[in-house]
Amino acid sequence: MNMGGFLAMYRLRYVDKKTVENNPAIGYTMQVFVKVKTIQEEVLMISAGDFRNGMTIELDNSVYQIVEFQHVKPGKGAAFVRTKLKDIKNGGVVERTFRPTEKCPQARIDRKEMQYLYSDGDLFNFMDTENYEQVALNKETIGDALKFVKENEMVKVCSHNGSVFAIEPPLFVELEITDTEPGFKGDTATGASKPATVETGAQVAVPLFVEIGEKIKIDTRTGEYLSRV
């Protein structure tokens, strides 16, 4: 729907009762508009049972990022969700519990795709590839979001009301193994793994048969090995 159509529907909220009675189509359109508006408002609410790490919610007039959550089912009493929430403005972390059905508004976050250029001490530099503007973010803001990201890779810079608070790496990356203990060809024992270092310096658990020089696919959300490339 274009803006003109939206404004026309919005103005329908203010028509008088007689106009609606004489124009059933207008009354129907108003009902549809109200229904759509209600659905849109519900979409912005998120139940605690659907919490995931990295999500942002509005709570007590602040915006928090979920950094840890756990579904708890005690032997007695009702189930609940235990969380650790990071205030995106001051970095403070609080612990809160929620009923699984309890809802919170999901915060509106701006995500801008930018290129990770390089690090300089505790500063990490990014560039907007559309206008070539650069921004430097400190280690406190970055956290460990870049542990699996190489220089010149694209990431998403997250901000709220113009204030950057986090970096989102690609969901999956392919990195080369630079160090690991020798394995054995054909060793595919289920569940057996060993530590390995990838080219960004991060460590990941890999199957015994993975060797130095091989490339692997990693899920950056969990840091888990997925497959060889």
Tokens for 67, please give them.
């950094």
Express each pLDDT in 153-173 by its tens digit.
Answer: 999 998 888 888 889 999 999
Rounded to the nearest 10 degrees, the angle between the axes of helix 24-43 and helix 3-11 is 110
Q: What is the mean pLDDT of residues 215-224?
A: 93
Q: What is the pLDDT of residue 102?
A: 94
Q: Residue ranges of the domains in the chain? A: 3-43, 46-105, 110-168, 172-228
Q: Give, in words, the CATH class of 172-228.
A: mainly beta
Q: Is-same-fold flag (110-168; 172-228)?
A: yes
Q: Which pLDDT band holds residue 76 (cuts at 50, 70, 90)? A: confident
Decide if 180 contacts 206 (C-beta within 8 A).
yes
Express each pLDDT in 80-102 by its tens digit.
Answer: 999 999 888 777 899 999 999 99
The CATH classification number of 46-105 equals 2.30.30.30
Decide if 60 contacts 74 (C-beta within 8 A).
no
Q: What single DSSP character describes residue 107?
A: P
Q: Please tell me the pTM assigned to this model.
A: 0.62
Express each pLDDT in 2-60 by its tens digit.
Answer: 444 444 444 444 444 455 456 655 454 445 444 444 444 444 789 999 998 888 899 98
Q: How far apart are CA 48 and CA 104, in angstroms?
A: 8
Look at 106 and 4; give whichever has higher pLDDT.
106
pLDDT at 74 over 60: yes
Q: What is the pLDDT of residue 226?
A: 94
Q: How far apart are CA 209 and CA 194, in angstroms?
A: 9
Express each pLDDT in 161-206 by its tens digit.
Answer: 888 888 999 999 999 999 999 876 555 556 789 999 999 999 999 9
In order of 11, 45, 134, the CA distances from 15 in angstroms are 7, 30, 50
Closest Cα partner for 116 from 58, 83, 155? 155
Closest Cα partner for 167 from 156, 177, 178? 156
Q: Return the H-helix or E-strand segment holding 31.
A: helix 24-43
CATH number for 110-168 (one of 3.10.450.710, 2.40.50.140, 3.40.190.10, 3.40.50.150): it is 2.40.50.140
